[in-house]
Amino acid sequence: MSSYEQKELSIKKRIDEISRLIFEVANGNFDYKINLSDNDDELDGLIGGINMLGEELKASTVSKDFIESIYKGVVDTLVILRPDLSIERVNDAALKSLNYQANELENEPFRKIISDADYLILEAVRKTLIHEDNCHDIEINLQHKNGDYIPHSASFSILYDNHRNNLGIILIAKDITQQKQFENELLQAKERAEATNEAKSNFLANMSHEIRTPLNGILGFINLMMETSPSEVQQNYLRLIKVSGESLSKLLNDMLDLNKIEQQKLSLESLEFDFREKIITDLKPYKYLAEEKGIAFEIAVDEKIPKVLKGDPVRINQVIRNLVTNAVKFTNSGSIYVNFKVLKPTADNMVNIAVEVIDSGKGIPFQKQETIFESFTQADNSISREFGGSGLGLTIAKYMVELMKGNISVESPPVSKNRDQGSMFQFNMLLGVPEKPSLLSTTAVDPSKLKFESAHHVLIVDDNEINLTLTKKVLETLGATFQTAENGQEAVDMAKTYDFDLILMDVQMPVMNGWLATEYLRKMGYDKPIIALSANVYKEHIDKCLEVGMDAHMRKPFSKVDLFNIISKQLSLKS
């Protein structure tokens, strides 16, 4: 065989080998290889090219498989949308959860499986995706083939090719049906709890009104009877009835306060008041009480405490009174010491006052010292039997002190004061110091000597006969004349007919309440003072009284002095 023929044969053989190589590669056998000859000729170039193509195909086909396996492995719904929002692909998990076949969804508009409202969300997402590569935790509802909507939490991201051309949107969505159910149950439970709470508050408000009304009658008449020179025995009985009535009144107020605290509706006033007159004077009765028990009672007031302060004197008194009442209650011998002092300098126009109430009484076991500030907690269970009380006082005190940006604590025994017996409660409060106090100083008066200087004719409006009689009696002793009305409607009619100097108006009444009656009177141009007389002392209640056109609000039960002062003030303002 000539060398030419030999060469031709070897070329033919290599072409056969190349054909085989192409066949194998075309059939996915990318590992099939043939060797290059030593000639480095065009056929070697071709073989090299096909080998390289095989390698590349192997690499790209494997990664395609890899992507496919990831695609199948995603357990959440996965949808690929084209830029026109038609569906390019959906994964098996999506098909299963929505109960569709692939051909029923692919190439269909995405609208087919979402509601109109959610389509709007999708439009918004698309706008967001212009600036950001992805959007997370968007709530959408995907529609099951049976028409039901299934809530999903979806994440969207833009699908780019290698040249950052936008190929569409990739959406991964998680079925959140269970989470939604849980949220709904929680919401319903919350709504039920709120409704129960609301019902409880309404019940408490109504009940307190119902209890307070007769209680005010009892307390008011006791005061009047005290002025009728009763015998010593009668005086003692009256005092006992008064103490019982007052504790009932305190319990009622505590329950209402606690309810307000629980609903976070308790707020403090910011009024100018004379610290010594309002706070220290209020402690005097406790001095007598302690001395009756044979206990010494001392009060020390730091001279640096300014005369006039800004805050809520009623609430401050409530806290101090609670601590002092407990000190008197739980001390049988020794002494009680109440100390007011100014703490280190604070911001301008503010003063930080510390109050210590130290007693030499039975003390509080260490392990109970934290819990006594919790509702309905007493240091030991025999206390309510022996001393009475509800265990609410300190809870309310703590809340009030915190509202005044202070802290309350107990030390028992008060070792820091070198005492080995008793308890020391201490708290501090931040109060305002007015630059130019506008407060007028008042002087103490003897109730039995009080009389109006000129004749006043008053309309008393109250649906409760006892309260009506009580107010009549007090006005009588003050030298005023009066007429009465039993509801707002009657009051309006009487105000049209008779000439009164002033109206004392109960708020909660049948037929027409005091607010409506006042509104009505003011609309028809009635300009005489109208004073609300009501047992409700919450800010929103008082505000409402002023809003409807009343001139002032007076708390029930009121004293003779209170009534005298408020009437005198209102009449002098209008004259």
Q: Contact residues for ligand ADP (CB under 6 A)? A: 322, 326-327, 330, 359, 361-364, 372, 378-379, 383, 389-394, 423
Q: 168 vs 414, which CB is nearer to ligand ADP?
A: 414
The residue with tokens 């609000």 is 553
What's 331-351 look like in SS3? CCCCEEEEEEEECCCCCCCEE
CA–CA distance, 351 with 275 (Å, rounded to integer): 12
Give the count of beta carbons closer than 10 Å to the beta carbon of residue 488: 26
Q: How far is the CB of 227 from ligand ADP (least distance, A)?
A: 31
What Å distances lie between residue 484 and 27, 75, 492, CA to CA? 110, 79, 12
**Is 257 or 463 the residue whose CB approaches ligand ADP more closely?**
257
Q: Are 331 and 366 in contact (CB under 8 A)?
A: no
Q: How far apart are CB 196 and ligand ADP at their closest, in Å?
A: 25
Closest to ligand ADP by CB, 250 or 560: 250
Angstrom distance (rounded) from CA 403 to CA 358 = 23
Query: Is the Cβ of residue 305 or residue 424 nearer to ligand ADP in the bound state?
Result: 424
* Rounded distance between C-alpha atoms, residue 243 and residue 285, angstroms: 12
Among 352, 354, 351, 327, which residue's Cα sits nearest to residue 339? 354
Cβ atoms < 10 Å from Cβ of 164? 8
Which residues have CB under 8 Å from 202's CB, separation 6+?
none
Residue nearer to ligand ADP on the CB measure, 362 or 419: 362
Min CB(388)–ligand ADP separation in Å: 7
Nearer to ligand ADP, 391 or 447 (CB): 391
Coil, helix or strand at residue 372: helix
Element (H, E) at 574: helix 560-574
Whether 566 and 552 have beta carbons less than 8 Å apart is answered as yes
As beta bridge partners, residue 271 has 311
Q: Which of 30, 25, 129 is nearest to 81 (CA)?
A: 129
Q: Which is nearer to ligand ADP, 363 or 529 (CB)?
A: 363
In angstroms, what is the minimal distance from the CB of 365 to ligand ADP? Answer: 9
Distances (CA, A) of 560 to 279, 318, 478, 533, 536: 20, 22, 8, 13, 19
Residue whose CB is less far from ligand ADP, 392 or 535 = 392
By beta-carbon proximity to ligand ADP, the closer residue of 331 and 487 is 331
Q: Kindly tell me which of 381 and 441 has the beta carbon lying closer to ligand ADP.
A: 381
Taking the complex as a whole, the smallest distance from the CB of residue 371 to ligand ADP amounts, in Å, to 9
Q: Minimal distance in Å, beta carbon 571 to ligand ADP? A: 41
Shortest CB 369 distance to ligand ADP, Å: 9
CB of 298 to ligand ADP, least distance (A): 16
> Side chain identity at 417, as an amino acid letter?
K
Which of 125, 392 has the CB closer to ligand ADP? 392
User: Who's near 257: CB < 8 A, 6+ residues apart?
Assistant: 266, 392, 396
Pairwise CA distance, residues 402 & 400, whole Å: 5
CA dihedral 352, 358, 362, 367 (to 10 degrees): 30
Pick between residue 23 and residue 376 the one whose CB is nearest to ligand ADP.
376
Q: How far is the CB of 415 from ligand ADP (least distance, A)?
A: 16
Tell me the closest approach of the beta carbon of residue 251 to ligand ADP, in angstroms.
Answer: 8
CB of 296 to ligand ADP, least distance (A): 15
Query: What is the per-residue burial (b if ≥16 Cβ within 10 Å, else e) of 451-464?
Result: eeeeebebbbbbbb
C-beta of 397: minimal distance to ligand ADP in Å?
7
**Closer to ligand ADP by Cβ: residue 254 or 551:** 254
Least distance between ligand ADP and beta carbon 380 (Å): 6
155 within 8 A of 140, measured Cβ to Cβ: no
Structure tokens at 271: 């009024």
Through-space distance between the first and last CA atoms of the chain, rounded to whole angstroms:
146
Cβ proximity to ligand ADP, 141 vs 390, nearer residue: 390
Between 326 and 464, whose beta carbon lies closer to ligand ADP?
326
- CA atoms within 13 Å, Cβ hemisphere of 466: 15
DSSP per residue, 178-246:
HHHHHHHHHHHHHHHHHHHHHHHHHHHHHHHHHHHHHHHHHHHHHHHHHTT---HHHHHHHHHHHHHHH
Q: Alpha-carbon distance 365 to 372, whole Å?
A: 10
CB of 124 to ligand ADP, least distance (A): 55
Q: Which residues contact 27 (CB under 8 A, 6 or more apart)?
A: none
**Beta carbon of residue 362, minimum distance to ligand ADP (angstroms, whole number):** 5
